[in-house]
Amino acid sequence: MDQTPEAPHPTTQHIFIDKESPSVWRALNGLGLKAREAADEAGISRALTELLNVRISQINGCAYCLNMHVADALKKGETTQRLAVLAAWRDTALFTEKERAALALAESITTLPDAHTRDREDGYARQHLNAAEYSAVSWLVITMNAFNRVSITSQHPVRREAKDESEAR
């Protein structure tokens, strides 16, 4: 019987691939900026963009991106109620048809379900998003998935926020 050699002891220091390969990181950031430009041109609000970033990061389990994009969503006017129920958006009436279409498309691109499910979600998205919106949302999702993978692979830490005065009492 073949014996697999024991894995070496893991190191305690993570490799931040964005820092290790900065030119690749800059290229990904450039793609992200172009995706945001396309979204702006298509009339996709920054608030919806952040909502998508949060949902994608929830699916992928990226703590670093969730921490960042929940804060950004709140700054863009998103409510804590909608963020709290975002993982169950299909079960609420808190989201517009356009938001629901964008969320359905985002989930489909992120999870890559079977062809029948992809076709159904794509059809729903295309009923409520014009071609420019559909394309822009798709690019936003693709780039956010890439950013999630960079942070998950690098194990970017989520740092505890400084306590505000009310918490300090």
pLDDT by residue (tens digit) across 37-83? 999 999 999 999 999 999 999 999 999 999 999 999 999 999 999 99
Residue 169 has pLDDT above 50, yes or no: no
Q: How far apart are CA 64 and CA 57, in angstroms?
A: 9
pLDDT, one tens digit per residue, over 106-126 is 999 999 999 999 999 999 999
**Banded pLDDT at 13 (limits 50, 70, 90):** confident
Confidence (pLDDT) at 163: 73
Q: How far apart are CA 24 and CA 29, in angstroms?
A: 9
- Six-digit token string for 53: 């970033």
Residue 151 has pLDDT above 80, yes or no: yes
Confidence (pLDDT) at 127: 98
CA 50 vs. chain centroid, Å, equals: 8
Residue 142 has pLDDT above 90, yes or no: yes
- Six-digit token string for 101: 């279409």
CA distance from start to end of the chain: 63
Confidence (pLDDT) at 78: 96
CA atoms within 13 A on the CB side of 34: 11
